[in-house]
Structure 1
């Protein structure tokens, strides 16, 4: 079998039992990476990773854990390192969605917070468990699955909107902290991919223009392979941005980052 572009790499993908996470785990394994899939539900995750390993011939292990549980995350990462080796690529994909399309005040308080936590605390815990070893080795990449809903207020999905905005800012802060270390971090939004999650959202009931999953795979794999390092800390959108068509470096230092827009040239916060 010819060598793949990610031969020798160890990838950890959260939310890997279904949807985009499963597709990414399969694509990374097909490119030669040894893949650890992480999700809460052990049974479905075990089946997914077994199928990925059989189909690709790459090592693929299932590690059941809740990304919002610090002890579970630390134990999961320790197991991945023990069985596969130090993580070269972390893909933060796991996350919840609002249970109902209602305004903030009408949402279930605990479920609302669980959604926000899954998109901010989860990635932060994985980052704290994985990135120090990347920095020590002088190489590694973190891909956070972002969303356009994090760049604007979405009142009917306020928890998801807030969580994704926080996650985007977290990636920006991470990338800035990593400058000069050889480790890079990216916000990659998949757009609207037809999955179990989007299919259950009333907002998209009649939607027909879905993003092809292959576009998400191509962009994430390009980041994993080091072809997008100039875009570290920035927002990329699958199906709109393509690795081969992006300039090597953004012209504007604040391009594709969350920023407060001024009301005009005399705005004192501009």
Structure 2
């Protein structure tokens, strides 16, 4: 297990992947701030992580789509733990039901998109300027297979994850020349309350272990995958040692339009 240092801020840390990441990063030596809307569950999780790992932890309650709450939360993390070295944008929702776009509830559809895209944007806007000022930091946006190909019965989640992926590339491009890097990391299918509630996963027996996700995020935090900044990695499909050794070229693992042939004017 690689030793890490500094401060990590993980959103959606009260349960599921976020909680596993908070605990895994704390076990590796980071001070960890967990952020979520559900205060009681979050405080319990962070207290348990502190007791298990001996790390400094902080529970911060905030809605990632609320600018004032996000800015106040980041200010609290800075005051209590220090400037953020690793931001993990994990918070998000999924479509309430498997149904085509025109049958969805408009407010719930937009709420799904907002938690991922507006949430990721607001956290980056509050955290990244200080990373740039200190010339040190890593941002991990939790992606999905639906970042790359839409599921028609999960249109909001597909749009949200694709938007977040494009934002990662824009962010990484703006950060070129600095020691601040942004990544898309799809965790595979981790067994969480959210994934278990999705009909598409009914009867699934093979799940991605949360420890695998932690290993990838820890490698990013350690600066071992900087060549992948602005690009997509997938836990359970990508081999971590291979990713450490590989330097992707051109637009590898980035969203691009596939031309229909050499005579396509967009080729």
- TM-score tier after normalising by the smaller chain length: over 0.9
Cα shift at 1:209? 2.1
Q: Who is 1:179 aligned against? A: 176
Q: Who is 1:34 aligned against? A: 31
Residues in 1 aligned to 2:40 and 2:146: alpha-carbon distance in whole angstroms: 31
Q: Who is 1:259 aligned against? A: 256
Residues in 2 aligned to 1:247 and 1:91: alpha-carbon distance in whole angstroms: 20
Q: Who is 1:166 aligned against? A: 163
CA offsets 1:169-201 (integer angstroms, 9 cap, x no match): 000100010001110000000011111100000
Q: TM-score, normalised on structure 1?
A: 0.97
How many pairs align? 267
Moved more, 201-210 or 40-49: 201-210
Q: Who is 1:72 aligned against? A: 69
Structure 1 residue ranges, 4+ long, deviating more than 2 angstroms after superposition? 247-252
Q: TM-score, normalised on structure 2?
A: 0.98
SS of match in other structure, 2:10:
strand
SS of match in other structure, 1:48:
helix
Mark the CA change 1:147 to 1:263 in structure 2 (over 3 Å): closer, same or farther. same
Residues in 1 aligned to 2:251 and 2:238: alpha-carbon distance in whole angstroms: 17
Q: Who is 1:92 aligned against? A: 89
2:26 corresponds to 1:12:
no
Mark the CA change 1:17 to 1:247 in structure 2 (over 3 Å): closer, same or farther. closer
SS of match in other structure, 1:180:
coil
Whether the aligned pair in 1 keeps the contact of 2:228 and 2:248 (CA below 8 Å) is: no
Q: Who is 1:194 aligned against? A: 191
Cα shift at 1:219? 0.6
Q: Who is 1:219 aligned against? A: 216
Cα shift at 1:4? 6.2
- Stretches of structure 2 that go unaligned for 5 or more consecutive residues are none
